[in-house]
A and B are shown apart, each in its own frame.
Chain A
Amino acid sequence: MSNEAFEPKLVGFLCNWCSYTGADLAGTARMAYAPNIRIIRVMCSGRVDPQFVLKAFAEGADGVLISGCHPGDCHYQEGNYKALRRHRLLSKMLEQFGIEKERFRLEWVSAAEGVKFQHICNEFTEQIKKLGPLSLNGGKDEQREA
């Protein structure tokens, strides 16, 4: 598979109040962005369990995005700070697993930032395209064979 044909699969966990609405705005405003991202809505970025990220990578995601409200704007007061902490720790862990830290992103997108969401999606897709597909030695296929 040549790199040019490679279309990465990205998973986005978006909080209901800011980022999901922001993505919605990008949609209603008919902004075109890379179709590689698949979105899962959670009520708050603080709901994103590290297991979800690991599960996504295990299932074959080439990159994972968590997006929440800007610091101080969390609908649940401080859920995005919890997400921030988990992102830091999990990034370290992923590196140890051999997953480049560029594949796991945390972003703040407010409900008004449809343009920012579009920009992030395009940029993230480009970045992962350059990195190439994720290869895990202990990947799912081998596990199944075992």
Chain B
Amino acid sequence: MSEEKKIKLKINNKTVEVNEGTTILEAAKLLEIEIPTLCYHPLLEPYAACRVCVVERKIGETSDLVTSCNTKVQEGMEIFTDSEKAMKAKRLNVEMLMAQAPAAEAVQKIAKDLGIEKTRFEIKDPTEKCILCGLCVRTCEQIVGANAISFVERGVERKVSPPFGEPSEACIGCTACAFFCPTGAITYEDIQGRQIVHEELALGPTTAIRVPIRQAVPMVPFIDEEACIHFKTGECKICEKVCDREAINHEMEDEEMEVEVGSVILASGFKPFDPKRIPAYGYGRFPNVITALEFEKLVNASSPTEGKILLANGEEPKAVGIVHCVGSRDENYNEYCSRVCCMYSLKFAHLIKEKTEADIYDFYIDMRCFGKGYEEFYHRLLEEGTKFIRGRVSEVTDIPLTEKEEGKLIIRVEDTLLGAVRRIPVDMVILATGLEPGLDQNEIARIFNISCSQDTFFLERHPKLAPVSTFSDGIFLAGACQSPKDIPDTVAQAGAAASEALALADKGMFELEPITAEIDEELCSGCQICVGLCPFTAITYNKEKGISEINDALCKGCGTCVSACPCGASQQRHFRDAQIFAEIEGMFIE
């Protein structure tokens, strides 16, 4: 690459040396000389349609006008971007564009920079924005690869259109043409009428290439195959072109890897409760009914609102209701308490108080402030003036009964301390959604041969004495996959799980339960029934001795072979036939 031929030229009397094949525009950019452009885009082939980038070129004694975007540099060339000749041509071109697209702001801006006030040519359509630069057509062809639009008609009738002026089947709806259009002439409509509540906050996809979350580790973007144009048409790869580090590779595929490990810690987490399951709360129907996670994203300093608490219409709320126990402590959904919601709801109330003037209503069943400093925090909020209403919210509605409720969301709740049904008008409702077991909990449990408790959280070996172990040796639990828990509890459990796993590894040996089976050589007839029954292939037949033998390291002590042995040669330690018979006999002693 370094062997490329260098070419020296002068632009506005400044000398620059560039590789052969560079355009004048690119060379000017190196000298930081600005040449206005409209139809140029570094990712696309130059097209020289707008002719705004026109410059004067001098080679020897001859001089002419060329478009800088598609003219390659030549040795000894002299370029003038602001000579009288160049400026005159540029002004003429811009005036023509002004007549073609009077409504295009980008053209007006360039005109203003050049000191043009109005065009001397006839304006055909004062609302026209398209300058017929073809950038959209080239985008659709070269980047998207869909070829859905092109120029149609000729002369003054020329315009950009899909075939026959009808919605094109080739269009994949990527809106790249609208994005690339320099004058905003192309617009698109959401014909599905899809409306995303707090659009920028929606947890769904934003762009096809993105960092999953702001706190992601590693902080690396990924490509969403469902949304990426490349995976639809095979073209685009813009990201690959603009990435200087050449870090993007579209050919990479998901890989299945086999890793040998001694122990496994399951930390598969939870799934937030979907409040759409409680239609009475209006989530999804009212844009200002949001979940706790959405509020958390909103109030985060790096949020699209920069941490400001705003309604869907951009205004600050005057009253906010926080509904506790959404999907928790409810026989219709989950009977258990999700444990974290009370405290994060209090945090929300505190943040709202801090950032807005809004009245805050907290609707709770019981305040469960169980941890260190938690009760104190609750008292602080009581003093701050948050209004706590004890009772389960029955409904969130937008149907007003009084003038005061006009245009508000009304929370209907039975105030159990007052003994009355109340209607509280608010602007924003935050649903304190509970924690549910992950979607594939049962599948994971089966893979690792562990159990789930009734609510499908993973079952620990013992609720008090072995809260991080499972019934499978070497499999440990951490976090919300075992039960709903907050961050300190999760960290504590994860630490315990890690040290349990390390203790296993550190020992370098494995302690077996002393319940393995053994075979009495004297009694064994060598029938080999046990060999076929053992699920762990721990039993082998010794041809020389004519008996079966058990490998103690492989035997897990299920005793299946023992109950099948016709000679009573196979016996399980601590679960011998004689011992169990004695147990049975013992039961019936009066």
Contacts and interface: CB of A to CB of B under 8 A. Distances in A.
A-B complex is real: yes
A18 interface: yes
B220 interface: no
B51 to A, nearest CB: 73
B514 to A, nearest CB: 12
Contacts of A6: none
Interface string B562-590: 11100000001001010011011101100
A46 B558 contact: yes
A11 B515 CA distance: 23
Contact of B471 (A9, A17, A50, A59): A17
Contacts of B559: 42-44, 46-47, 79
Nearest to A28: B463
A111 B471 contact: yes
Interface stretch (A70-78, A121-129, A131-139): A70-78
B558 A43 contact: yes
B459 A11 contact: no
Interface string A71-90: 01101111100100010000
A2 interface: no
Nearest to A15: B558
Contact of A59 (B446, B533, B536, B588): B588
A59 B557 contact: no
Contact of A52 (B471, B515, B556, B584): B584
B448 to A, nearest CB: 11
A59 B582 CA distance: 11
Contacts of A107: none
Contacts of B453: 111-112
Which of the four size classes fits the interface of chain B?
Answer: 20 to 34
B449 interface: yes
Nearest to A78: B535
Given A76-B558, A111-B451, A42 B535 contact: no
A134 B460 CA distance: 40
Nearest to A70: B451
B127 interface: no
A94 interface: no
A42 B452 CA distance: 21
B184 to A, nearest CB: 60
A45 to B, nearest CB: 9
A67 interface: no
Given A9-B588, A46-B563, A72-B446, A79 B535 contact: yes
Interface of B: 446, 449, 451-454, 459, 463, 471-472, 515, 533, 535-536, 556-560, 562-564, 572, 575, 577, 580-581, 583-585, 587-588
Given A76-B558, A77-B535, A79-B535, 20 more contacts: A9-B587, A11-B584, A18-B451, A28-B463, A40-B587, A42-B580, A43-B515, A43-B558, A43-B559, A47-B558, A47-B562, A52-B581, A61-B588, A73-B446, A75-B449, A79-B559, A79-B560, A82-B563, A111-B453, A113-B454
17 contacts: A11-B584, A28-B463, A42-B559, A43-B559, A46-B560, A47-B563, A47-B575, A55-B581, A56-B587, A61-B587, A76-B560, A77-B535, A82-B533, A86-B563, A110-B451, A111-B453, A111-B459
